[in-house]
Structure formats: C-alpha cells, structure tokens
Amino acid sequence: MQDKLFEFISKYISLTEDEKNALVSLDLFRSVKKGATLLKEGKFSKESYFVLNGCIRTYYVLEGEERTTAFYTELDALTPPCVINKTPSEYYISCIEDSIILVSNSDMSVEINSKFPKFDIMCRMLSEELLAKQQINFDEFKTSSPEQRYLNLLQNRPDLIQRVPQHQLASYLGIKPQSLSRLRARILEKQR
Amino acid sequence: MQDKLFEFISKYISLTEDEKNALVSLDLFRSVKKGATLLKEGKFSKESYFVLNGCIRTYYVLEGEERTTAFYTELDALTPPCVINKTPSEYYISCIEDSIILVSNSDMSVEINSKFPKFDIMCRMLSEELLAKQQINFDEFKTSSPEQRYLNLLQNRPDLIQRVPQHQLASYLGIKPQSLSRLRARILEKQR
DNA sequence: CGTAATTCTTAACTTAAGTGAACGATCTTA
DNA sequence: TAAGATCGTTCACTTAAGTTAAGAATTACG
C-alpha cells in the first residue's frame, strides 16, 4: 500500500530512502470501514485525505436531502474548504467502501514542509493541477445535459457506476433518482 | 492601479520597497480593449491573468455555440488549464470591458519565484484558496436550479447582471437566453 | 431465515427548460 | 443616416426533469 503512495509522489518529486522512512514513521495510514463518517457538517477539521484504496464521498444535506457533490477514489486527494478557510464544514464526508486512506493534519504538514521543502513544491504542483482539473470538470458539467453527463461518466469513470448506489450517483449528476432511472431506460431504448 | 495589486498581495505576504520596485519594473500591466481576445482555442499559452480593472470571460465553442463558463472581475486570478497541463487550450478568453490586466508568463514566474521565495508561498496559498472557492462554487451550481442560480448571482455578484450581456449570462447559468428571459419574467411575476 | 428497511424502477401528472420563429430595440458600420 | 447585424423578449410547441405514489428488488440485520 505504501508503494502506491511512493509511486504517486514520484510523479512530482523524488524521495531518498531516509525521506521515505520519515514519511512512513508518521503513521498516516488509516483503515476506514464502509459507512464511517470522516467529517460532519458544522465541525472544524484540519484533516486532508488521500485515498489509497476504496471510495469516499462528500455530500451536503439540504432541506433534509443528501446532495452528493463528489466521489474520491484511488489516488484522489481532498482538502475540504473548511480546512483552508478555517470555518465549520458545510458538508459531510463519508466512506462508501472499506478503504485505506492517508490522513494528514494541516498542523503537522507545516512541520513536515519545513523539514522537507520538497513537499511544499509538491503541494503547490498538486493544488495547481487539481485546480485545473476541477475547472475542466466544472466546465464539462456546465456545458452538458444530465444525459450527456451520465454518458461522460460511463466513459471516464465507469467504475463509479458499478460501485456507487444509484441515488448517490443521481444527485452527483444533479438530478433525482427517478430521473436517472428514466434516463438510463431512455439510453437503452435508443441503443436497441 | 499598482496600489490595488500591492493591497491584494499584502493579504498573503509582506513586500519590502525593493521587492515592490522589482515587481513594478517587470512591467506586467496591460491595457486591453473591450472585445479583444486573450486566448484562442487550440493555442498554447503560458500566460496567467490577474484582473485589476474590468472583466474578462472564458468560453467554449461547442457545435457552433458559445458556452460561457466564467467571468473574472476585479482582483480575480486565472491560470488556464492549458498552462498547467501544457496542452492546447480548449477555450477562448476574451475581454468584456476595457480592462487593466496583469499578465504573467509561467517561464518568468519560475525566475521570479527563485528570486523571491515569498512568491512561491503566496502562489501556493492562492491556488489552495482558489481550489476551495472553486469547489464551493461547483457545489453550489450542482445543488441548485437555474432559477436559484440566477437569484444567487443577484445576491453575490449583482454587478455581473448589469455589465454582462444576457446571452452570456444565460450560458453561464447553464441555460438558453430565451429561458433566462422567461425565468426573469417569472421572478418579477412572483414579486408582484 | 425471515422481516424490515432501503433502494430501484415504473407510471401519471406537473413544471420548467429547449426549440424555432417572429418582432422590436439596439448597436455597427458602410 | 440607412442597412445590416446583434440582442432581448415573447409565443407556441416539444422534450426532459421534478413530484407523488406504488410496487418490485435488494440489502441489512435480528
């Protein structure tokens, strides 16, 4: 599992064996059970997450309804806005499958970054890259209909459609579960 | 105009007079006429933009139609994904009003950042902050209807509704101009 | 294993956005 | 200033998503 992490990091910076050991000794890995909640609305948090294995999701509760806004799977990183802004969280984070997640605390990372300036560089590259990816994602969402979004998802993240419950997928696509059912039926209809 | 920039920067780091002068001497300010295009689809670019005055927009051309995805106004920063990913741009950037814009080249910023390590820190803070803001924005878009989005815009960026043409606003809201007209009429109807 | 709870699908009806067309207002420009 | 383009609005009609409700399928759990 650590190998996965080092392979990911190596895309940005190269680490010496000493640095790798120092990183491992921090004991950041956490095993999380399906259904567990990592963050609740209204709570303060300093934790960032990096998914090594499994799947977590972020969702709001608006008027009693869950609105799923994102899924994070293998090698996805998430720093909730509440960590950056030092405000109470507006959403929940919960675990969809049994997962192995790297959890880092923003206090801790100040220390790490001063010890290993390389990490700062990686963080900057990462957040710039994420920003660009996020922008493209948003643009794609804006410029397409629910049906196109579903077809896109089928193309780009087909695993999600298998591993995530329909009603969560629906709200991720910006529609109701009933509409997703109908939409899927419509697509099958067309294919025939 | 420079004061505006320094005031913005001071929110993140503090600059000495020498540093300020060095920054000014780079001559990054550019005056851009309404209607001018800053970036075209398919082009490579290394430029980031920081709006000091005026308004620019990003838009895709899909099936012959413009799809506006964002407006950048006073003190907004934009690094197009194509700069990060080193790929041809997927969208256009153009100027909606006569504007004063700070244009920085990513080659140049490597140099600047090595001379002024502070800048690296600011850039990282900025991109983390932008990422958080972008995430919240996206979430808001996903969890609301066109009508709610319009009402939100009216709340949060009322200036846009005044300074931006309706059809650009419409596609920014994810709908057709006719629908925006109708939607506005509907809202007025309700108010009465 | 069986019951309860949750999830998914289907259907009928409502509501809102897309489409195509027309018209007047505004802005451009020759 | 006149002619053409662009823009915003309105309308009738189409299409798709929201809503409410019911029932089937699946999952959770005592």
- pLDDT for the residue A50: 94
Torsional class of B175: left (φ above 0), alpha (ψ -120 to 50), beta (otherwise): beta
Nearest CA in chain B to A133: B81
**Contact flag B139-A60 (C-beta cutoff 8 Å):** yes
Contact at CB, A143 and B79, closer than 8 angstroms? no
Nucleotides of chain D in contact with protein CB (under 7 A) are 7-12, 16-21
Q: Which residues contact A174 (CB under 8 A, 6 or more apart)?
A: A141, A146, A149, B142, B143
- pTM, two decimals, is 0.90
Closest to A32 in 3D by CA, of A49, A46, A7:
A49
Provide the CA A180 to C1' C13 distance, Å, integer.
Answer: 18
pLDDT range class, residue A191, cuts 50, 70, 90: low
Q: What is the pLDDT of residues A127-141, one digit of tens each?
A: 889 999 999 999 999
pLDDT at A156 over 80: yes
Residue A163 contacts strand C, CB under 7 A? no
Instruction: Read off the pLDDT of residues B115-132 as tens digits, 9 standing for 90 and up.
Output: 888 888 888 889 889 999
Q: In the predicted model, is pLDDT for residue B98 greater than 80?
A: yes
Rounded, the Å distance between the CA of A128 and C1' of C15 is: 41
pLDDT band at A40 (very low <50, low <70, confident <90, very high): very high
Rounded to whole angstroms, how far apart are CA atoms A166 and B151?
A: 30
Q: pLDDT at position B192, please?
A: 61
pLDDT number for residue B191: 67
Question: For chain B, what percent of residues have pLDDT higher than 90?
Answer: 71
- The answer to whether the beta carbon of residue B126 comes closer than 7 angstroms to any atom of strand C is no
Give pLDDT, residue A25: 87
Distance B165 CA to C21 C1' (A): 22
pLDDT greater at residue B106 or residue B72? B72
Q: Which residue of B has its CA nearest to A125?
A: B124
Q: Which run of H or E residues covers position A94?
A: strand A92-95
Confidence grade of residue A160 (pLDDT, cut at 50, 70, 90): very high
Sequence-distant (≥ 6) Cβ neighbours of residue A32 within 8 angstroms: A38, A54, A56, A95, A98, A99, A100, A101
Q: Which nucleotide is nearest to B164 (CA to C1')?
A: D7
H/E stretch holding B53 reads strand B47-53
B chain contacts of residue A136, beta-carbon cutoff 8 Å: 81, 90
Q: Is residue B139's pLDDT more than 80?
A: yes
* Listed range (A52-56, A151-155, A185-189, B71-75) with the worst mean pLDDT: A185-189
User: What is the pLDDT confidence band of residue B166, given thresholds at 50, 70 and 90?
Assistant: very high
CB B106 within 8 A of CB B28: no
Cβ contact (<8 Å) for B128 and A81? no
Helix, strand or coil, per DSSP, at residue A131? helix
- B131 → closest Cβ in A67, A91, A131: A131
Look at residue A39 and tell me whether its pLDDT is greater than 90.
Answer: yes
pLDDT tops 80 at residue A87 = yes
Q: Given a cut of 80, is residue A143 above it in pLDDT?
A: yes
Is residue A8's pLDDT more than 70? yes
Q: Across residues A105-115, what is the average pLDDT?
A: 84
